[in-house]
Amino acid sequence: MNFLGSTKANGMLTTFLSFSESRSFLLEPRCVSGFLHAVLLLVLFCSWVRNKVRGNNGFGSVRERLKDRRGLGFKSVLFCSLALSLLNLVLTSLSGFYWYESDWLDEEQLVSLLMFLLATVSWGVLSVSLHRCSDYEQRKSPFLLRLWLAFYLAVSCYSLVVDIAMYKRHVHLLVYDIVSFSGALLLCYVAFFKKARGGNNNNSNGVLEEPLLNGASTVGGGGTGEATPYSRAGILSLLTFSWMGPLIEIGNKKPLDLEDVPQLHDSDSVVGLAPKFRSMLESSSDGGGESERSGVTTFKLMKALFFSAQWEILVTAFFAFIYTVASYVGPALIDTFVQYLNGRRQYNNEGYVLVITFFLAKLVECLSQRHWFFRLQKVGIRMRSSLVAMIYEKGLTLSCHSKQGRTSGEIINFMTVDAERIGNFSWYMHDPWMVLLQVGLALWILYRNLGLASIAALIATILVMLVNFPFGRMQERFQEKLMEAKDNRMKSTSEILRNMRILKLQGWEMKFLSKIFDLRKSEEGWLKKYVYNSAVISFVFWGAPTLVSVSTFGACILLGIPLESGKILSALATFRILQEPIYNLPDTISMVVQTKVSLDRIASYLCLDNLQPDVVETLPQGSSDIAVEVSNSTLSWDVSSESPTLKDINFKVLPGMKVAVCGTVGSGKSSLLSSILGEVPKVSGSLKVCGTKAYVAQSPWIQSGKIEDNILFGKPMERERYEKVLEACSLSKDLEILSFGDQTVIGERGINLSGGQKQRIQIARALYQDADIYLFDDPFSAVDAHTGSHLFKEVLLGLLSSKSVIYVTHQVEFLPAADLILVMKDGRISQAGKYNDILSSGTDFMELIGAHQEALAVVGSVDASSVSEKPALGGEEDAIGFDVKQESQDVKNDKPDTEETKRQLVQEEEREKGSVALDVYWKYITLAYGGALVPFIVLAQVLFQLLQIGSNYWMAWATPVSKDVEAPVNISTLMIVYVALAVGSSLCILVRATLLVTAGYKTATELFHKMHHCIFRSPMSFFDSTPSGRIMNRASTDQSAVDLDIPYQFGSVAITVIQLIGIIGVMSQVSWLVFLVFIPVVAASIWYQRYYIAAARELSRLVGVCKAPLIQHFAETISGSTTIRSFNQESRFRGDNMRLSDGYSRPKFYSAGAMEWLCFRLDMLSSITFAFSLVFLVSIPTGVINPSLAGLAVTYGLSLNTLQAWLIWTLCNLENKIISVERILQYASVPSEPPLVIESNRPEQSWPSRGEVDIHDLQVRYAPHMPLVLRGITFTFKGGLRTGIVGRTGSGKSTLIQTLFRIVEPSGGEIRIDGVNILTIGLHDLRLRLSIIPQDPTMFEGTVRSNLDPLEEYTDDQIWEALDKCQLGDEVRKKELKLDSSVSENGENWSMGQRQLVCLGRVLLKRSKILVLDEATASVDTATDNLIQKTLREHFSDCTVITIAHRISSVIDSDMVLLLSNGIIEEYDSPVKLLENKSSSFAKLVAEYTARSSSSVD
């Protein structure tokens, strides 16, 4: 808006504030408006007096009735009132200037002044009255106020119509009327209609009545309801961001922790936002309920996001509008200023009026920009939180079939990348309409100064914008492909990190690393296209203002419009401001594109099918005399499949019954339990369940956190019941061994627990829930024989004696105790009945029993009567359960025998403190080509800046100040030099943009390879103590920052510094005195920046640190969703997710506040510098300074505050972003394992030929301060013999195997294989020559072929042969794609037993001389176990086979048996000799097993 810049006779103000004599008084809307404002003041005053008389605090009626402090409507009213008051204040000031200028003679101006003054005071009083309101409930607005608002709306509308119809030339009046009308419309809407949305419900959140957080507490108080620094701040504090002061002060005294960061207010907490967003999404999808999700489209998602934050968005739009208008006041007045300096004065003290106007415009610009930016970030935080809550909720309800199509890595990406990007889009949401407004205002100023030549500017601007569209479309495609490639990489990374132990044991980690590098290469291909495309866009748009100015000045010459320096400078200042929307347009288009891609992805995810809610009919507890009833049910994981998973299932379970489910591998046992849980889609039939359920999965699902929390699982602590459960699950002894007892923090996926311990914690969790129906999916397979029988007796027959239990088992000895046995075969129940009844009635059950008896026959020589009743190895020591595998990882859990303090395994994520080391910046800069490109980038930018200043200087110097002054050069020279300088500057930009993205791309690639290589080469202990969420966070979020953000942040800092130096240079040319102010202002700015950065840096680090737990919790929820649903714990997990989401939003919110706190102060300082230089220019006598050059200084000075704030902004942003590099470098320096290959000491190709393993004085501990786990053991595994290793949990069995593979390095002694000391050769030379079938059968996403032969060493014939040997050949042949049949993530479309057979196939292919079986048959039935043993005997007869087993039958036919106890060898001999000695520990173990098993067969 231009209030003072007209060159007409009386100046713009005259036109603005004088009205034609012919206009009748009745048609003068501003008089009516003034009268109305007087009435408002009267109403407010009467209200105040009445309440004073009644003893209230004044302003009571407004206060009591208008306000629900948390309501968005209220805040909108408050800001609207305040804005109208400020606008009228500005107009009052301008009227005063004009009145002063016209010697107080104009009566109409007096009326205008009074009208503006009345409006200022009345809106100000209303603002104050609203702001002072306390927390009263929102009722209707007072009748008088509503009546007044209706009149005000009518008058505003009337004013607008009058001005449009009769006074079109008064553009400024029109703008004022538009603002007044918009404000009146908003106020009326809030006063009359706002309450209708909430209905009569007293709960301000409406949909927030269900309890979500921690089960009991209601969500209504989600943001804790306490006043936060932001919500209790006064109006001045809000305006100046002083409410951030205390937090920044704390940050200066000490590094901030999350506890120091205040809570979010209710309106910004996800607890209040999520239900509101959900209801918006449902209402926009018409259907509501379940059908709604299936109909989520991108548009509906966008609409819901908008309406969930509509008032904040509208308020930011208002601030953006005010900012844009204020930013054009300067360029509009430059011509007037140059003419003033040239001696043309329109009235007394015009110079000071101009200075004040410049300063006020800067003030309004600064205030509106700061609040616009802050509120935009608030909107972004809200959007991200709402989306994360929706994505999380969807993850909890996703059907298994849908989940197969989306891996956990992809779903995590929706949360970490897509929701984050949509949150960041808030920065750009107003840009599309602002571009139109800015271009419109720019053209208006150009038209005033240069007439029709402004059309050339418009055409050039449109041309530049059109050029961008093909690039924008390409950018969208590249972005989509980049995201797809990233998803694929993250999916693989997630799977590989989960199974790193297997990869290390097999020696495959480098092959899988190369797979990650291949995926990254494909990602890099799209990244390269993306960044180079953005470099071209950058060139087009940095060159755009030059093109626009050349076109405009060229048109002036062609049209014969005289070029004067004042007009030229006004145009140049306008182009400089126009640069902003044009520079930002490519970013905006790119961001719109990226956001659309992200919205599409999230919408398609939210459309996926949920679990069918009606699969199982759940009856209230005690309402039926049947616990579980399944009638004629056919169910299928894949509804479209022709052969259903379960067919014609019929059975009933009465309360208190024990039902056993048995059958061969892949017969549908686990699917049967899943169907009772409602996880398997139903084709036909009915399932009824009466009462609550508890479920124990076959693969243990353990949350990271304390053992106690895992067992309580959301229930309150009842000590007596808790102790009983621990005792029944044999956990008491385990907990005694752990340094922290049940407070020990479990690593991710229970990494620091043995398989048996994880299962027992799972069982304890189920028992503690005290449910009515228990579903056990073969939980006894992962524990040794003694613990298994103890659990069966204490749990199933003890604590659960009165409960209904359905248990899947492969162990025949647990069958006789069942009231009903279901024998599964090919998805049907082939036999059902009691043990003795079905023994004689069919073949399927007899096959299982026969296999069991066959296994027992081997130990038939042992007399059952010699069974010792008491446990063999020293009392009940079995429960120790501190399996190697764990000790290794969680060395910290044992009691250290040194003074070293006890530590938990999973420490809080390490975060650097203090400023980011300069070393990090230096490493980043020099990583690409040794930093060779950096000087050229800086040089290109310096040249660009010099050429730009040169071209502007040339135009200011070479054009006359006014028409009557002769130009120093002719027109053609003027344009040729200007065009040459312009082209030169554009070329510099092209060079800079290209070099910058080249350096950034190369650096990102180098960092990626360094970090991943280092992670893959790190020892297993690193993965055990590092949750994969932390690694994933670096591989996704931090890598994204390095790929796409940091190069531009570095570039931005360099560009801004160079521009700032240029501006100060130009200003000091005119007025060296500017340094008098500039130097202290710079000093103050630096002090503020240093004061601010301490808090901001830690807030930014907290954002990074608080993100990992959110991702980890999400990943855990997805993998354990079945368990969570079976315990009906969804609402508690939602609450946890919300708590973590708010924990992540808090530092983000206050980080935004801190940034604006700083920028506001820097804006003020730079405005003072600018004002000082203007005062100096108007104070000196005419002719001392060339007016053109003074005008040039003012032109550059206009952008001083923006640039100074931008510099600090980019510096702080860079420091925040560089933390991503710091975090990646942290993991790029993890200590590595020993070398994979030692060229100087490679074993022969045929090694090992005999397979003899000689162990001498082997000592192993997991850390220097830990006790020994293996205490100097010496023995030999003879070549070609089968050796079984037995011992209680925690005796050191798995540690021995890990040491053999050098997963753990021995601290003393040596291991020789065929005479070669394994410590002297490379890890791959060792691991690739040994074979292992691990305890947890693992399959990777891919094909059957890639799972059997990841290194691609074998032919198809060899693979088929291996499949046939492991009895999987027929199964694979049935599949359409044979060897290329797909394997889903974690092999979830294969049963546990089939996965174990695939692991057997791997070793059959490899045919190593030494084979290790680590509990390899734990997940299979006895018949499959016998088959595996038979296959091994047949094909590995000449190999050394080392077996760790829980089933005695697996080791009884070994040539030798090694019995370990507490890290020392208790017995080592042939089984026959050990059995002859009845007092041997092994004989006691066998006797115990036989007694238990025989009783089941009798």
Write down the pLDDT at residue 1437. Answer: 81
Cβ–Cβ < 8 Å for 510, 496 = no
pLDDT band at 649 (very low <50, low <70, confident <90, very high): confident
pLDDT digits (tens, 9 = 90+) for 789-810: 788 888 888 888 888 889 888 7
- Compute the mean pLDDT over every residue in the chain, rounded to the nearest whole number: 77
* pLDDT, position 1012: 92
Task: Please say whether the beta carbons of 653 and 627 come within 8 A.
Answer: yes
Residue 558 pLDDT > 50, yes or no?
A: yes
pLDDT recorded at residue 15: 35
Per-residue model confidence as pLDDT tens digits over 1176-1211 = 778 777 666 777 777 777 777 777 767 877 787 788
Give pLDDT, residue 136.
38
pLDDT of residue 995: 92
Say whether pLDDT at 1149 is over 70: yes
How far apart, in Å, do the first and last CA atoms of the chain sit? 99
> Which pLDDT belongs to residue 943?
92
Q: Quick one: pLDDT band at residue 1014, thresholds 50, 70, 90?
A: very high
Q: What is the pLDDT of residues 172-227, one digit of tens each?
A: 566 677 777 777 777 777 766 654 333 333 333 332 233 333 333 333 334 444 66
pLDDT in tens, 623-632: 778 888 888 8
Within 10 angstroms of residue 1273's Cβ, the number of other Cβ atoms is 20
Asked if 669 contacts 661 with a C-beta cutoff of 8 angstroms, the reply is yes
Where is pLDDT greater, at 12 or 733? 733
Mean pLDDT of 1275-1289: 83
Express as a percent the part of the chain with pLDDT over 90: 3
pLDDT category of residue 910 using cuts at 50, 70 and 90: low
| Paired residues of 1333 in beta bridges | 1413
Rounded Cα–Cα distance for residues 1063 and 453 (Å): 28
Compute how many other C-beta atoms are within 10 angstroms of the C-beta atom of residue 532. 16
- Which pLDDT score is estimated for 1008? 92
Cα 735 versus chain centre, distance: 35
pLDDT at 137 over 70: no
Query: Mean pLDDT across the stretch 64-77?
Result: 49
Does residue 1465 sit in helix, strand or coil? strand
Whose structure tokens read 């007037």?
A: 336
Q: Give the Å distances, CA to CA, from 934 to 938, 998, 1057, 1348.
A: 6, 11, 15, 48
**Strand, coil or helix: 1419:** coil
Q: What is the pLDDT of residue 258?
A: 82
Q: Which of the pair, 224 or 884, is modelled with greater confidence?
A: 224
Q: Is the pLDDT of residue 728 over 70?
A: yes
Mean pLDDT within 1380-1384: 80
Q: What is the pLDDT of residue 53?
A: 61
Q: Between 752 and 511, where is the model more confident?
A: 511
Residue 352 Cα to chain centre, angstroms = 53
Distance CA 796, CA 803 (A): 9
Question: What average pLDDT does range 105-133 have in this prediction?
Answer: 69
Whether residue 628 contacts residue 471, with contact meaning beta carbons closer than 8 Å, is answered with no
The token duo for 1085 is 């700015």
List, for residues 1409-1439, the tens digit of each pLDDT value: 888 887 666 666 667 777 777 777 788 888 8
Yes or no: say if 715 and 769 are a contact pair by the CB < 8 Å rule.
yes
Identify which of 835, 647, 676, 858 has the alpha carbon closest to the alpha carbon of residue 1422.
858
Question: Any residues with CB less than 8 A from the CB of 702 and at least 6 apart, and which?
Answer: 710, 746, 749, 750, 753, 758, 761, 762
What is the Cα–Cα distance from 734 to 731, expressed in whole angstroms? 5
The answer to whether the predicted template modeling score (pTM) of the entire model surpasses 0.85 is no
With pLDDT > 70 as the criterion, what percentage of the chain qualifies?
81
Q: Is the pLDDT of residue 27 over 80?
A: no
State yes or no: pLDDT of 94 exceeds 60. yes
Q: Report pLDDT for 862.
A: 38
Q: Which pLDDT tens digit goes with each residue over 803-835?
A: 888 988 877 778 888 888 888 888 888 888 887
Checking if the pLDDT of 944 tops 50, the result is yes
Q: What is the pLDDT of residues 1232-1270, one digit of tens each?
A: 888 888 888 888 888 888 888 888 888 888 777 777 888
DSSP string, 576-613: HHHHHHHHHHHHHHHHHHHHHHHHHHHHHHHTSPBPPT
What is the rounded average pLDDT of the residues 4-15?
A: 35
Length of the chain: 1498
pLDDT band at 1172 (very low <50, low <70, confident <90, very high): confident
What DSSP character marks residue 1243?
Answer: P
Instruction: Evaluate if residue 82 carries a pLDDT over 60.
Output: yes
390 C-beta neighbours (distance < 10 Å), count: 24
Q: DSSP characters for 800-860?
A: TTTSEEEEE-S-GGGSTT-SEEEEEETTEEEEEE-HHHHHTT-HHHHHHHHHHHHHHHTTT
Beta bridge partners of 660: 807, 821
Say yes or no to pLDDT of 494 above 50: yes
Query: What pLDDT shows up at residue 144?
Result: 66
